[in-house]
């Protein structure tokens, strides 16, 4: 890894969904891969698949919902003598329900994955990129980051943090050779809602994980600051920023309500 002609990309949450698709795109575009997440067998199968595209891939298991997980991951990468050229902060957790009804441990896990680990991993790997004068960082937020979200209050708030952080970092790092792109998908056809505890989400169009990843990867390569996937999601995100909360709050609550 880290050969002269193949940059190294680290993808968190690589075991499924958008993370898997981004890893495939990176491999096909000449990157070696570090895959991290909790489902080792799935990532090992993905690593074997990526080898067919000429990508050397390694799996480093990590549970980013645990304290110090990001630091331990960064140390594991350093111990291997590797330098990350592309960081994809894709791992994310959600939970559906009224705030006081959601298990407190789940709230802590969401905050660690969506906010703490994402921030710490970016902070730990960014100096190396700056020293080399090149690098790309993707933070995966959501269209949820454009408004408050009753019945997914912590998730929406965490994605607002990611969006704010990403835009600020992109501005700060102008002219350094390092770009920061914040990807904001809307509803995506993955197992996210099932894991989040939703029995049924109100009918809404969903993009495929592959389509979201393609749009995000184009934005990453171009160094765009923010990428909202899909025309409808762009309209909804802009509307969420402009419309009064008296409209957006009940609309979001209805969308997230469980059957």
DSSP state of 242: H
For residue 150, give the DSSP letter: T
Catalytic status, residue 171: no
Axis-axis angle for helices 118-132, 69-79 (nearest 10): 30
Tokens describing residue 168: 């600020």
Q: Are 33 and 23 in contact (CB under 8 A)?
A: yes
- The three-point CA angle 225-230-234 to 5° equals 65
- Of 155, 161, 171, 217, the active-site residue reads 155
Q: How does DSSP assign 182-236, residue by residue? A: EEE--SEESSHHHHTT-S-PPP---EEHHHHHHHHHHHHHHT-SEEE-SHHHHHH
* DSSP classification of residue 106: H
Catalytic residue numbers, as ranges: 155
């Amino acid at each position: 890894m880290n050969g002269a002609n193949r940059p190294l990309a680290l993808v968190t949450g690589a075991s499924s969904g958008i993370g898997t698709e981004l890893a495939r795109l990176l491999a096909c575009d000449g990157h070696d891969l570090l895959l991290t997440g909790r489902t080792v067998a799935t990532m090992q199968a993905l690593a074997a698949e990526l080898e067919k595209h000429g990508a050397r891939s390694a799996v480093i298991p990590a549970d980013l919902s645990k304290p110090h997980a990001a630091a331990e991951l960064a140390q594991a990468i350093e111990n291997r003598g590797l330098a990350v050229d592309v960081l994809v902060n894709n791992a994310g957790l959600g939970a559906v329900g009224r705030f006081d009804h959601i298990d407190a441990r789940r709230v802590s896990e969401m905050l660690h994955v969506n906010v703490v680990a994402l921030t710490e991993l970016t902070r730990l790997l960014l100096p190396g990129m700056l020293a080399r004068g090149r690098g790309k960082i993707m933070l995966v937020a959501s269209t949820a980051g454009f408004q408050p979200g009753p019945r997914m209050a912590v998730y929406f708030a965490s994605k607002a943090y990611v969006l704010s952080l990403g835009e600020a970092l992109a501005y700060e790092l102008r002219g350094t050779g390092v770009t920061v792109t914040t990807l904001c998908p809307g509803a995506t056809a993955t197992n996210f809602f099932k894991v989040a505890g939703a029995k049924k989400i109100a009918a809404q169009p969903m993009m495929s994980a592959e389509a979201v990843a393609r749009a995000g990867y184009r934005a990453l390569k171009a160094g765009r600051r923010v990428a909202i996937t899909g025309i409808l999601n762009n309209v909804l995100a802009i509307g969420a920023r402009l419309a009064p909360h008296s409209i957006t709050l009940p609309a979001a609550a209805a969308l997230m309500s469980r059957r």
